[in-house]
A and B are shown apart, each in its own frame.
Chain A
Amino acid sequence: MEIKSGSSITSKQLIFIMIGTMLGSGILSLPRLAAKEAGQDAWLAVILGSMFPLASLSLIRLLYKKNDAASFVEICRKVGGRWLGSLFSIILALYSVLTASVLLRVFIEVISMFLLNDTPMLAKLVLMLSVCAYLASTNAKVIGRLNEFLFYVLLPIVFFSLPAIVKNSDIRNLMPVLNFEVSDYARAALTTGFAFSGFELYIVFHPYVLKEKEAYGASLYALLITLVIYLYFVIGVISVFGSELTQKFTWPTLRVLATAEVPILERIEFLFIQAWIGVSFRPISIQYFCASHIIAELLKLKSQKWSTLGLFPVMILIAYYPKNIFQVFKLSDYVGQIALSIGIALPLILIVFGMFTVKRKAVNDENA
């Protein structure tokens, strides 16, 4: 499939898309997860966790370097053949559907707790997913532009949290440094690595970048920016609460905001949530887009709108399925684990398959 000229994105837009996929509810819950595993060294666990996406991005780059293709589905078919290649594509599409659904549900849990307590779950799911579906039915260029625009929503988020962090933080809450076993850090890195899930979608967006050579650098920039934002929140929250109290809160970042009052605005956590909506709907939309896009390409649909529409009830069902917040978190953990597996295993498998395909082709050419 040829990339439509209107669908290509700039490397700058890729940065914003990648940030959009990786940043989401992790802002709110990562300090708790990281503190649980690595205590006051949570920040280190976050840095170590970013090694997984780094490895994945490098593998994806290698994959596209070795195989020239215009889309993810095309590269899968090129190296795996029609059936196996389609299977690889379907795996990523299913994963994206699952991830988008879980992210949607996590988002709704936060909204339910802080803003809309009485609104039925289904109404909230449908409303939110409708917005995401609208974006998912467009093309990579729209996704890129919107993510570029919404990136600046992050600024008020950081700005709102500053008074609470500056006023109440204590550096001793981050000490002593390096006080855990290597195995603890490894486990912690695995947990924090989940927070970056979404990085694996670089495999879908890489071919859309106008200057392909700049794509890998852009993805690294995105990873770095995401890492800095996560570090800001993890260090900020733990320096305020201490690692023990951080673990007690479901959404510690929001709780930190509740520790300080700003004149006139007063309850800044509610303003933060408003801004955070603009951040958290992006990973859902981008995952949704990728799933719709892969399915549309596999089924050779004329318009991506049909696959978007078809996935809508499936995602609502998955998001509606968990009965309580613990099931949501459990599902979220599974998704994180799958993300790490897919992010590393999928490009690796495709590279290995690609090597055999190239050899086979070379032999065939020689025989011919």
Chain B
Amino acid sequence: MKMHRKLIRLSAALLCLIMLTGCWDAKELDDLSIPLVVAYDTILEKEKEYPDDKYLVTVGVPVFYEDVESKFHVIDTTGQIIGEARGRKNTQLGEQVIFGQLQVLLLGEELAKKENLLEITDVIARNPRVKASIFIIIVKGRAVDLIKKPPHNYPNVGIYLKALMKNSKDTNFFPYTTLFRFNRSLISYETAALLPHVICRDGEIMLAGSCLVNEGKISGEMGREETETAVMLSGIECKGTLSFEAKKDGKVIDEATFEGRNSRKVTLKIIEGKYVFNIQIKLSGTIVEHKKEVPMQDGTDLLMVFQDSLEQHIKKRAEALVEKTQEEFKFDALCLAKYIKAHTREKLTKEDIDRIVQESEINVEVKVQIRNVGGKM
């Protein structure tokens, strides 16, 4: 009995320790502002508050007060380093800023081309309150302009961009790069990170392509089609649609749209000192559209034709991107470094990895598996 009482007392004391946040750390919700989106840019001359300012940091905070003019408060501040600019925002905010719900980090294109993004994002990565799963997006033009753009049918740009990034992997073959994946690519794999590129066209914010960030800076840009291929080659698993021409004996017999998932398998062999990569792209899904009114069951080989045609279509695009990687980019844009590191006992530098990627033999094989043809035969 005595022992039980002791245990109960001890448990109660422990519970108090766990549950009480303490008088000093008590926080009222009314005293907090919770940014959803942050944007970093290089500064324009006219924006400088002090002559030495280099960066413009813009924070988008939803406003919870009723009867206010705007429900989304955008604050921009300047500073010599990001932390300084971020700190200056407190002179414009009535509440304490909590970064725990930060969803999206926008980076202006010019900044991403000039500065090392690992250094720029340090202030975010160092903050334990910021989740490692926030999305990083490169903005065509300046990020500050995008953050101030009210999106249609969404409360604010932060909510819209989070929804766009969160769902893009289920609707598009586009990269969805989080802070953690960005750091892992650059630091652990020493490969280039593939970041989504967003533009604002005719007042609409949309995904336009992607950027390759090598050694912290943008080193290559890709349009929609190349991005899709890069996603498949890099093994970023998504679900999306692909339209293609169905060819039989070199003749176009139909046009079709495929919807499905991608995956990648890489095998690496070192033959007489030469690295030979075999990248197998797997696509599995459904034909959601084909133009010609030929019933599928009548042409028993039609499905095979679609499969072969899509395989050839993607293979051609993939081989073009492999060539571009080896001859134009000249760095690992295909996320092969982790395979090189896993198979090599020597200590490799980033230069070694890039050289291996340039000099290696990279074979691409595409395997398409059409499982279904939709609700119409």
Residues of A within 8 A of B (CB): 6, 113-120, 123-124, 127-128, 130-131, 134-135, 138, 141-142, 145-146, 149, 168, 170, 172-173, 175-176, 179, 241-246, 248, 251, 254-255, 258-261, 267, 274, 277-278, 281
Query: Given A131-B13, A278-B14: A141 and B3 within 8 A (CB)?
Result: yes
Cα A255 to Cα B183 with chains together (Å): 12
Cα A113 to Cα B18 with chains together (Å): 15
B335 → A minimal CB distance (Å): 10
- Verify B17–A242 contact, CB threshold 8 A: no
Query: Given A131-B10, A244-B187, A258-B133: A114 and B128 within 8 A (CB)?
Result: yes
- Verify B10–A116 contact, CB threshold 8 A: no
Cα A260 to Cα B179 with chains together (Å): 11
Contact with A along B323-367 (1 / 0, CB 8 A): 000000000000000110111110000000000000000000000
- Verify B22–A116 contact, CB threshold 8 A: yes
Contact residues, B187-245 vs A (CB, 8 A): 187-189
B352 → A minimal CB distance (Å): 15
- Verify A123–B24 contact, CB threshold 8 A: yes
- Verify A146–B7 contact, CB threshold 8 A: yes
Provide the residues of chain A in CB contact with B75, threshold 8 Å: none
- Verify A259–B10 contact, CB threshold 8 A: no
State whether the Cβ of B9 lies closer than 8 Å to any Cβ in chain A.
yes
B37 → A minimal CB distance (Å): 17
Provide the residues of chain A in CB contact with B133, threshold 8 Å: 258-261
State whether the Cβ of B131 lies closer than 8 Å to any Cβ in chain A.
yes
Which residue in A118, A134, A142, A259 is a CB contact (below 8 Å) of B24?
A118
Cα A243 to Cα B344 with chains together (Å): 15
Query: Given A241-B184, A278-B14: A258 and B344 within 8 A (CB)?
Result: no
Other CB < 8 Å A-B pairs besides A175-B341, A176-B342, A259-B132, 18 of them? Answer: A113-B128, A120-B24, A123-B24, A128-B17, A131-B13, A168-B180, A170-B338, A172-B339, A176-B344, A241-B184, A241-B188, A245-B187, A246-B188, A248-B183, A255-B128, A277-B14, A277-B18, A278-B18
Query: Given A146-B7, A255-B132, A259-B133: A119 and B13 within 8 A (CB)?
Result: no
Residues of B within 8 A of A (CB): 3, 6-7, 9-10, 13-14, 17-18, 21-25, 100, 128-129, 131-133, 178, 180, 183-184, 187-189, 338-339, 341-345
- Verify A243–B18 contact, CB threshold 8 A: no
Q: Sample 24 A-B pairs with CB under 8 A, ordered by A number.
A: A115-B25, A116-B21, A119-B23, A119-B25, A120-B24, A127-B17, A131-B10, A131-B17, A134-B9, A142-B10, A145-B7, A168-B180, A172-B341, A176-B343, A179-B345, A241-B184, A242-B184, A245-B187, A248-B187, A251-B128, A258-B131, A259-B132, A260-B133, A278-B18
Provide the residues of chain A in CB contact with B132, threshold 8 Å: 255, 258-259
Provide the residues of chain A in CB contact with B178, threshold 8 Å: 259
Cα A142 to Cα B5 with chains together (Å): 11
- Verify A243–B188 contact, CB threshold 8 A: yes
- Verify B10–A134 contact, CB threshold 8 A: yes
- Verify A142–B3 contact, CB threshold 8 A: yes
What residue of chain B has the Cβ atom nearest to residue A131's Cβ?
B13
Q: When A and B form their complex, which 3 residue pairs have the shortest distance between CB atoms, in order from nearest?
A: A242-B188, A175-B342, A119-B24
- Verify B10–A254 contact, CB threshold 8 A: no
- Verify A267–B131 contact, CB threshold 8 A: yes
Cα A346 to Cα B180 with chains together (Å): 45
Provide the residues of chain A in CB contact with B189, threshold 8 Å: 242
Query: Given A116-B22, A245-B183, A255-B132: A173 and B338 within 8 A (CB)?
Result: yes
B126 → A minimal CB distance (Å): 9
Cα A172 to Cα B338 with chains together (Å): 7
- Verify B128–A254 contact, CB threshold 8 A: yes
- Verify B188–A173 contact, CB threshold 8 A: yes
Cα A246 to Cα B132 with chains together (Å): 13
Cα A182 to Cα B6 with chains together (Å): 50
A237 → B minimal CB distance (Å): 12
- Verify B131–A135 contact, CB threshold 8 A: no
Provide the residues of chain A in CB contact with B18, threshold 8 Å: 274, 277-278
Cα A58 to Cα B343 with chains together (Å): 40
Which residue in B7, B25, B129, B187 is a CB contact (below 8 Å) of A116?
B25
Provide the residues of chain B in CB contact with A119, threshold 8 Å: 22-25
A139 → B minimal CB distance (Å): 9
Provide the residues of chain A in CB contact with B128, threshold 8 Å: 113-114, 251, 254-255, 258
What residue of chain A has the Cβ atom nearest to residue B189's Cβ?
A242
Provide the residues of chain B in CB contact with A115, threshold 8 Å: 21, 25
Cα A246 to Cα B180 with chains together (Å): 11
Provide the residues of chain B in CB contact with A251, threshold 8 Å: 128
Candidate in B180, B188, B338 with the most chain A CB atoms within 10 angstroms: B188
- Verify B13–A118 contact, CB threshold 8 A: no
What residue of chain B has the Cβ atom nearest to residue A113's Cβ?
B128
Provide the residues of chain B in CB contact with A244, threshold 8 Å: 187-188
Cα A244 to Cα B190 with chains together (Å): 10
Candidate in A141, A170, A254 with the most chain B CB atoms within 10 angstroms: A170
Provide the residues of chain B in CB contact with A134, threshold 8 Å: 9-10, 13
Cα A123 to Cα B343 with chains together (Å): 52
Query: Given A115-B25, A172-B338, A172-B342: A138 and B188 within 8 A (CB)?
Result: no
